Amino acid sequence: MDILSYLVFFSAVSGIYAIATLGLNLQWGFTGIMNVGVVGFFGVGAYATAFLTGPAYPDAFGGFGLPPLVGYLGAMIASGLAALVVGLLTIRLRHDFLAIGTFGAAICIQLLAMNLKPITRGFDGLHSLPRPFAGLAATPVAANAYFLAMVVAIIAAVVWALERMVRSPWGRVLRAIREDEEASAALGKNAFAFRLQTFVMGSMLMGLAGALYASFTGFVSPQDLLPILTFQVYVMLIVGGSGNNYGAVLGAVLIWALWTMTETFLGAVLPAGLKQQVSALRVVLVGLILVLMLLYRPQGLLPERANVSREARLQG
């Protein structure tokens, strides 16, 4: 693969991660909702788009051959609904129970992907999804470039919208909720509604990321729904700077670069046949980065801007 097409491919995937990271930033960075089920909503989006846009599968219900755009919208609606259900059940819970609850929800979603064969085809997954722009572009590289342009446009739109939202009175309420769980409990129903709103919106972005991922790779299977994805997105957000939308994007690009480069680098250095070990070493490395960031730069590379008293919160 020549360098340009590799760069396009790399940028598109990191852009997809950036969208999921922006979703998590809305939940965790701005509202303090610790969603440990990122991969679940990502998966719902991926499967929903495959269900809507995929070719008719002989052995499964679904595959309506709809245009990718419809698939993306459907994915956002599906992941939003999933988040609504999970949120109604868990969003009232304390931080740690919420983390456990969303973690469990993601595992259940993965179980459904594996076992709900009439729709998901189990481990075989849903394949041959239509690639967007495939008909418009002369070459696959050009199609990827168009796709990348679309992803960048989506990121720009999402960042613009999120920046406006968090600066609005609505955003200030979110931060109030994040800063003080006790005080926000006094807000009662109100805080619940705010938390639920951000949980659903953030999860819709994760669903959109899943949809883009499925349509970009043309394939989705339970193998794409491993908890490691949740971990990656968290590391991206923490490295970039939780509470900062630009940080979320930066973190996604950096960590995805590290992730792919370690594979390339280690793959070149270590003898072939150690593929397992290479990917294991990569996870250890990223885990180490997370821990080091938590210890030495918990605010991330691009700290949250403005007045918010995060320091005081960490000490209190």
Contact of 49 with 211, CB cutoff 8 Å: yes
* Encoded amino acid at 203, one letter: S
Among 67, 294, 305, 309, binds another protein (CB under 8 A): 294
Positive or negative: CA dihedral 110, 116, 119, 123: positive
CA-wise closest residue to 222 among 24, 38, 39, 5: 39
SS3 for 140-205 is: HHHHHHHHHHHHHHHHHHHHHHHHHHHHCHHHHHHHHHHHCHHHHHHHCHHHHHHHHHHHHHHHHH
- Told to check if 167 binds another protein by CB under 8 A, we report no
Q: What is the largest CA-CA distance in the chain?
A: 59
Query: Which residues ranging from 15 to 54 are in contact with another protein (CB under 8 A)?
Result: 32, 34, 36
Adjacent-strand bridge partners of 126: 220
Question: Judging by beta carbons within 10 Å of its beta carbon (0-12, 13-18, 19+), is residue 247 exposed, middle or buried?
Answer: buried
Instruction: Phi first, then psi: give them for residue 297, nearest 5 degrees.
Output: -150, 65
Which tokens sit at 293? 């960031």
- Of 5-13, 58-66, 95-103, 145-153: span binding another protein (CB under 8 A): 95-103
We find the least distance from the C-beta atom of residue 185 to another protein, in angstroms, to be: 11
The rounded distance, in Å, linking the Cα atoms of 262 and 155 is: 26
- Told to check if 148 binds another protein by CB under 8 A, we report no
Among 73, 81, 100, 173, binds another protein (CB under 8 A): 100
- Told to check if 290 binds another protein by CB under 8 A, we report yes
Query: Which residues ranging from 220 to 249 are in contact with another protein (CB under 8 A)?
Result: 227-228, 231, 234-235, 238
We find the least distance from the C-beta atom of residue 100 to another protein, in angstroms, to be: 5
Among 4, 56, 70, 108, binds another protein (CB under 8 A): 108
We find the least distance from the C-beta atom of residue 290 to another protein, in angstroms, to be: 4
- Told to check if 55 binds another protein by CB under 8 A, we report no
- Of 9-17, 58-66, 105-113, 257-265: span binding another protein (CB under 8 A): 105-113
Binding site for another protein (CB under 8 A): 32, 34, 36, 89-90, 93, 95-97, 99-101, 103-105, 107-108, 111, 114-115, 227-228, 231, 234-235, 238, 276-277, 280-281, 283-284, 286-288, 290-291, 294-295, 298, 313-315
